Chains A and B, each alone.
Chain A
Amino acid sequence: MVNRKGTKLRFIAGEYDVAVIGAGHAGCEAALACAKLGVKTVIFAMNLDSVANMACNPSIGGSAKGQLVREIVALGGVMAKIVDKSAIQIRMLNKGKGPAVQSLRAQIDRRKYQQEMKHVLELQENLDLKQAEIVDMETVEEDGVRKVTHVVTHTGAVYKCKSAIVCTGTFLNGRIIIGDVSFQSGPDGLFPSIRLSDTLTNLGFKLIRLKTGTPARVNRRSIDFSNMVPQPGDEEAVPFSFETEELEIDQIPCWLTHTNIKTKEIILENIHRSPMYNGSIEGIGPRYCPSLEDKMFRFSDKDRHQVFVEPMGADTEEMYLQGMSSSLPEDVQIEFMRSVEGLENVSVMRPAYAIEYDAIDARVLKLTLESRFVDGLYFAGQINGSSGYEEAAAQGLVAGINCALKLQGKDPLFIDRSEAYIGVLIDDLVTRGTREPYRMMTSASEYRLLLRQDNADERLTEKGYKVGLISEERYANFKEKYRLVKVELDRLSKTHVSPTPSVIEYMEKIGSTPLKSGASLEDLLKRPEVDYEDVLAIEELNLKDKGLDYERKYLPKSVIEQVCINVKYSGYIKLQLQQVEQFKKLEKKLLPEDIDYDEISNLSMEAREKLSKVRPASIGQASRILGVSPADITALYIYLTRRKEK
């Protein structure tokens, strides 16, 4: 930027503790966490109308992701609360499959979500929201350590800062591809961020190229729903946030239809025009989110694929076609869409596209998400190679908290794999890296039975309180909830019933083997066919038979839920806890920061390379690096012991 005289325009526009670059899902959580913890924060969005934008599926939650959202709010983050305010449909997935895999999923009013989140940012003390593109970051080297000093906007405004959190999502060097047409662009018709990539490369970050895609948006008026199957929400909408008591929503259904042989023919005929297949796209896409042409090509024996038609909001006719993401040319898109039942006259509002973008190899980050070679520089969200709003928000929250803690000279926040999906996510990204956009799946966690969506508060709220993001009132409610759980668990194990006549009759009625001798209420609840109401009913009948009074104490639903899960799963929970104990032992075996892996001659070449790259914090983390074998771990042990003796 130069003025008429040819001198560069630069002016100091402000001074902050932290600059958050990007106001997507990661950026919002990061900025709010910092500001709430008392740190002076500025957050930059390339366009203020796209704060917290859902550039793809207008939904939040689902398998493993629902768990993440609960964890975020348990830790003191915000996403779940905004979801509760903007949801247009809620469903609990995997209802019959056990509490460890149940997840909540909400269809969201995209506009409403953005408005709500933007408003929260605007209202937050210690936080300034600004529209600007960050084109450069300035750093300085002091005592051998490089640190962030300024961020620079496209208009030449310079902001002094002590830390920066990079949450650029899919904007870095973004390129949209629609068949034969491609152009530099961010997602959803927004500007790309071009120059920041160079800054990162100059600072020493290795950039990888990733790709993701999105389907078309179409006008509801042009859809024929008569042969589509409605997918309604749950009758009783369960809220995401632990603080929301109940949720009243006018639920809007989704719709299910299928592609057919004609669709397949059209796509395969035009496959040569697909940028994925003619080589114009170099970025690696996620295999769990294939484009429609991917599906047709790889699973060519399938004649039909599911398509879910999802509403984008309560006050818009835009509908999202889940399952039809594509980067085929626009004319082909229209043709294959029209081949689908119900979409014969569809009117496209936004075409499907693929987007390529720069991301970093997250193995240069510590478990706090701070980069290892630039002090005070954090990364969160899709720039780390993850995908999904929930994954981004989780990272943003952890990065924001750690940034604030470091600025205040306090100990960092670590969340490990046994404590939360957030821990699994960060550990996987930072230790193993990823070659394709990483999506959270429940199978990624070894401790799935412990990391449930119902007990996220039990696992994380204490940490959130210690950090300072949970209010006294909320903390008190949380302690009270689990006190009631403990009391009730105790009561169930100490209260016994005997096989009196009405008890036996009731048990036969519900199909449970009647008692032969006395049993505790806990023993009864352990049986899969017995639920909490049954237990209370049996207790009451037993007392009545004995001529005694019964007074029921009413407990909140959330307490009852915890009690039931704890009783029914107690054996398995114990087993997992034992596994966690083993895990923690290794996580506590710390590796010194200054270790030189090339010095350790007994390490394999591959292990030396991988260990030097990731620089794990502990033997546990080292053991998870791909390419490090058990023999290498033994060599590390020996080296550590020798060092200690010296």
Chain B
Amino acid sequence: MNYVEDTIAAISTPPGRGGIGIIRISGKESVAIANRIFCMAYGRLGDFVLNMPTHTIKYGFIRDPESGEILDECMLTRMDAPNTYTKEDVIEINCHGSYAVLRRVLELVFRMGARSAEPGEFTKRAFLNGRIDLSEAEAVMDLINSHTEEARKAAIDQLGGRLSKQIERIRQGLVSVLAEIEVNIDYPEYESELVTADVTMKTLNSVIIELEDLSKSYRQGRLIREGLKITIAGKPNVGKSSLMNALTGYNRAIVSSIPGTTRDTIEEYIEIDGIPVILTDTAGIRETEDVIEQIGVKRAEEKIEEADIVIYMIDSTEPDIEEKILSIKKPLIVILNKIDIETNYLEELGRKLKNYDVIETSLTEDIGVKEVFDRIKKYFSEEKIGINTENIITNARHKTLIDTSLASLKKAVENYNTGMPLDIIAFDIWNGVNTLGEITGASVNEEVLNNIFSRFCLGK
């Protein structure tokens, strides 16, 4: 359960692409958290936030203190209680509007000790702390009630009957597993009559597979709402724009060319097998001294970060390969273009790319484009993406809970396999079940007890 003592954080700007995104942090730990993750240019560290006067704004960078990585440049505002929105200490971080960046900064803030704000929680704190007067409090209270109780119920309803039934069934399966373990613990004399650990683990493994599918389905849901993002990367003049044209020319559903904020990216919407796809053509990526081009390169790197699939195009007449892109941990399609031109580098390229599945194209000669489409479609089927997918989670909170639960359950299986004792395994399974229980709000302890005593004949 979430209470007012915690420091909360959330993305305060609406989702989607925009120039600026704002992360707001409210609570006792806000300043301390911000201080740990904020640094000045050139990686200069110091207690900048701690030493900032209240209600001032500072330019700097968000830096992960554990890895040293810079996540984004930003403007950071410090506002000390009580003259703030919530009457608590508030920090607002203005970064770039890219969802991927905001997400990463938010996750960093969570790691530093804040937790995800519930819907409407900042407003709730505003009047819990008396910033909204008494007469308004009553009216807003109903809203709050509906937010917590109803939001929970509505979220379950929103999922659709089938899905909530599935989550409930998975939960019951886990409650059963727990009951078996607890009987094992609390009635050790009855060992011979009880289900063995192997069977229990089997049940657990099948639950894990079901939860994984459910978790993946969230991504599918999002893809269907927001579109599959494909980013085309490669040096300038390698043929990216031609590829864009070729791809959109084939399957143009909606054609709208949205220019990027500078000359960095161009996006096109197309449809492949009914799935909306956003193609992004990036500025050429290469090492450069040009500052403006550097920004373009940076934007390109962001787009690659956000992408679901990356297409890396290489000019077969110039074998200059960016190892960084090849080693990206995302689904990658490597395209070797301009094969119509005689070149001496084919052997060298062949060697460098031998571990990759390469599609050879000549866009001027219209060779290889169909193969690119086929590869994209192959990705759909591998990831089981289709608009007829039945059970899709669209609620981010549920996905987080499911992922947290999965992590605990997988730990339990891992511990079982490395011979850890039962009390440790039970601990992780309890955490897994409790986390899932937060979706429906059931009291897990009662359920486990009921399960135990209805299934097992125990007692003195």
Contact = CB atoms under 8 A, between A and B. Distances in A.
Interface of A: 56-57, 63-64, 93-94, 96-101, 215, 286-290, 295, 298-299, 302, 305-306, 308, 322-323, 325, 441-444, 448-449, 528-529, 569, 572, 576, 585-586, 602, 619, 623, 626, 629-631, 633-635, 637-638, 641-642, 645
Interface string B422-446: 1110110000000000000101010
Closest 7 CB pairs of A and B: A98-B421, A98-B423, A100-B423, A97-B422, A299-B457, A289-B459, A63-B186
B457 A94 contact: no
B449 A443 contact: yes
Interface in B157-174: none
Nearest to A428: B445
Interface centre among A289, A441, A443, A645 (most CB of B within 10 A): A443
Interface in B184-217: 184-190, 193
A629 B153 CA distance: 13
Contacts of B75: none
B460 A323 contact: yes
A528 B420 contact: yes
A56 B185 contact: no
Nearest to B193: A306
Interface stretch (B47-55, B144-152, B291-299, B313-321): B144-152
B3 A444 contact: no
Given A99-B421, A100-B423, 11 more contacts: A56-B460, A215-B460, A289-B460, A290-B457, A444-B445, A449-B424, A529-B419, A585-B5, A626-B443, A630-B1, A637-B3
Nearest to A623: B1
Contact of B128 (A98, A289, A322, A638): A638
A585 B4 CA distance: 10
B459 A295 contact: yes
6 contacts: A97-B188, A288-B459, A306-B190, A449-B423, A572-B424, A641-B130
A443 B193 contact: no
B256 interface: no
Nearest to A301: B457
B128 A449 contact: no
B41 interface: no
A288 B453 contact: yes
Contacts of A634: 124, 144-145, 148
B190 to A, nearest CB: 7
Contacts of B185: 63, 94, 97, 101, 442-443
A432 B186 CA distance: 22
B154 to A, nearest CB: 14
Contacts of A299: 457
A64 B188 CA distance: 12
Contacts of B145: 602, 631, 634
Contacts of B449: 441, 443
B459 A637 contact: no
A259 to B, nearest CB: 11
A405 to B, nearest CB: 30
Contacts of A576: 427
A298 B457 contact: yes
Contacts of B419: 528-529
Interface string B128-156: 11100010010001001100110000000
Contacts of B124: 634
A302 B418 CA distance: 35
Nearest to B4: A637
Contacts of B134: 642
Given A57-B460, A288-B453, A289-B460, A441 B186 contact: yes
A629 B1 CA distance: 10
Interface residues of B, number: 45
Contacts of A305: 457
A443 B427 contact: no
A287 B456 CA distance: 11
Contacts, number: 124
A448 B423 contact: yes
A302 B419 CA distance: 33
B457 A443 contact: no
Given A288-B459, A572-B427, A602 B141 contact: yes
A449 B460 contact: no
Contacts of B5: 585
Contacts of A443: 178, 182, 185-186, 445, 448-449
B253 interface: no
Contact of B3 (A63, A569, A586): A586
Interface string B389-427: 000000000000000000000000000001111111011
A553 B140 CA distance: 67
A93 B128 CA distance: 50
A323 B459 CA distance: 6
Contacts of B427: 100, 448-449, 572, 576
Contacts of B453: 287-288
A623 B3 CA distance: 11
Contacts of B353: none
Contact of A322 (B127, B418, B460): B460
Nearest to B145: A631
B458 interface: yes
Contacts of A638: 127-128, 137, 141
Contact of A325 (B178, B420, B460): B460
A146 B116 CA distance: 49
Contacts of A306: 189-190, 193
A238 to B, nearest CB: 16
A495 to B, nearest CB: 25
B129 A629 contact: no
Given A623-B1, A645-B130, A101 B422 contact: yes
B113 to A, nearest CB: 11
A290 B187 CA distance: 14
Contacts of B149: 629-631
A589 to B, nearest CB: 8
A96 B188 CA distance: 11
B193 to A, nearest CB: 7
Nearest to A644: B130
B457 A295 contact: yes
A39 B403 CA distance: 57
Contacts of A322: 460
Contacts of A637: 3-4, 128
A524 B190 CA distance: 35
A418 to B, nearest CB: 15
B423 A93 contact: no
B186 A308 contact: no
B423 A585 contact: no
Contacts of B457: 290, 295, 298-299, 302, 305
A641 B423 contact: no
Nearest to B124: A634
Contact of A630 (B148, B178, B182, B459): B148
Contacts of B184: 97
B189 to A, nearest CB: 7
Contacts of A585: 3, 5
A341 B193 CA distance: 18
Contacts of A64: 186
A600 to B, nearest CB: 11
Nearest to B127: A638
Contacts of A629: 149
Contacts of A99: 421, 423
A305 B192 CA distance: 11
Contacts of B423: 97-101, 448-449
B459 A290 contact: yes
A602 B4 CA distance: 18
